[in-house]
Homo-oligomer: A and B are copies of this chain.
Amino acid sequence: MAERTSVLGTGLVGCGWAIVFARAGFEVTLYDESPEALDRAQAQIASSLADLASAGLIDDAATVRARIRPAPTLADAVRNARYIQESVFEDAEVKHRLFAALDELVGAQTLMGSSTSAIPPSQLTRDLATRERWLVAHPVNPPYLVPLVELVPAPWTAPATVAGVRALMQQMGQVPVVVKRELEGFVLNRLQGALLNEAWRLVEEDYISVEDLDKTVSDGLGLRWSFMGPFETIDLNAPRGVREYAERFGPFYHSLANSRTTPPAPWGEALVSHVERLRREQLPAEELDARRAWRDRRLMALVRHKREMERAT
């Protein structure tokens, strides 16, 4: 019999996780406090699976869907679960209440991950009897297309929990990375934030338009980064590798960092209005949904392309 995983919370993130687990052959129980949300989630999952099938990313949507079962109670959902992925509303109090309830319900071997993108795990699990078996497993949306998962242990998370969830995520076809100890924003959003903060500032100081800044990434920096990380990129960009790159360009990047003598201001109202106006000129509000559908098609095609490339090499 297939092993069981449990997804608690059925927003976009929870639905995404259910697809990841079921696609990998696991039995998935899906739970939400709200029966209406649970109904909506099943429709959402069916729709996403149909999209994946028509993009050629899964063979048989019905088989995958049949592995996902809505559970009537929390106790039923987590019974015999090898792994529980919490994906409820991003609020420490809401998560606390759920985690306390789980403390009484979960089996002795169950491992547990929270999808939180910003709450430090120590703040969520400090007082739990099961706290050694909890960590943060932060996905990128949607996790069935973007495979990266940040695993962030609290100080008391057992090494076996990190190793176990890492192995499980690999088995699922995800790409887990370990953030060795907790820090604000974890790693992915710190990298994203460093680039975003510089981007907002360059527009605020009127060095470049919003449209041209976007092209700088989508037609420049972003191409290599879709298949190589920044360290591999610079390692290959100097004949003798990363040391030579650091010797030649390190002082330049250090000078750039130090050319900012004040920390960035908040993204202020005037700046946000400016960027919003320019974005709405490029893409009217009524076309946002159509553009999101375009983005999802592009992401699916890119994932298929990457798979073909990885098979070929």
Contacts of A210 in B (CB 8 A): 231
Give the residue of B191, B207, B301 whose beta carbon is less than 8 angstroms from that of A217. B191
Contacting A220 at CB < 8 Å: which of B146, B218, B236? B146
B220 touches A207 (CB 8 A): no
Give A residues with C-beta under 8 Å from B. Answer: 118, 140-141, 145-148, 150, 175, 177-181, 183-185, 187-199, 202, 206-210, 212-232, 234-237, 240-243, 246-247, 250-260, 263-267, 272-273, 275-276, 279-280, 282-283, 285, 288, 291-292, 294-295, 297-299, 301-303, 305, 309, 313
**A contact patch SS:** helix
The 5 closest A-B pairs by CB, nearest first: A214-B229, A148-B220, A222-B225, A226-B226, A177-B212
Q: How far is the CA of A252 from the CA of B100 in the complex (A)?
A: 27
Q: What are 21 A-to-B residue pairs whose CB atoms are below 8 Å?
A: A148-B216, A184-B255, A185-B255, A187-B213, A189-B256, A190-B202, A192-B230, A193-B256, A193-B257, A195-B230, A214-B230, A214-B231, A218-B227, A222-B222, A228-B298, A232-B279, A232-B283, A235-B288, A246-B272, A254-B264, A257-B264
Q: How far is the CA of A267 from the CA of B253 in the complex (A)?
A: 9
Residues of B within 8 Å of A225, CB to CB, are 217-218, 221-222, 225-226
Q: Verify B231–A184 contact, CB threshold 8 A.
A: no
Q: Which residues of B contact A259 (CB under 8 A)?
A: 184-185
- For A145, list chain B residues within 8 Å (CB): 223
Cβ–Cβ contact B301 & A305, under 8 A: yes
- Give the copy number: 2
- Shortest distance from the beta carbon of A170 to any chain B beta carbon, whole Å: 12
Pairwise interchain contact A231-B279, C-beta atoms closer than 8 A: yes
Output the residue of A150, A191, A265 with the most chain B CB within 10 A: A191
15 additional contacts (CB under 8 A) given A188-B220, A196-B234, A197-B253: A148-B221, A177-B215, A184-B255, A190-B202, A193-B252, A193-B253, A194-B256, A197-B256, A216-B229, A218-B225, A232-B283, A236-B295, A242-B272, A243-B272, A250-B266
Cβ distance A254 to chain B, nearest Cβ, rounded Å: 5
Contacts of A147 in B (CB 8 A): 219-220
Residues of B within 8 A of A192 (CB): 221, 230
- Given contacts A184-B256, A283-B235, whether A198 and B189 have CB atoms under 8 Å apart is no
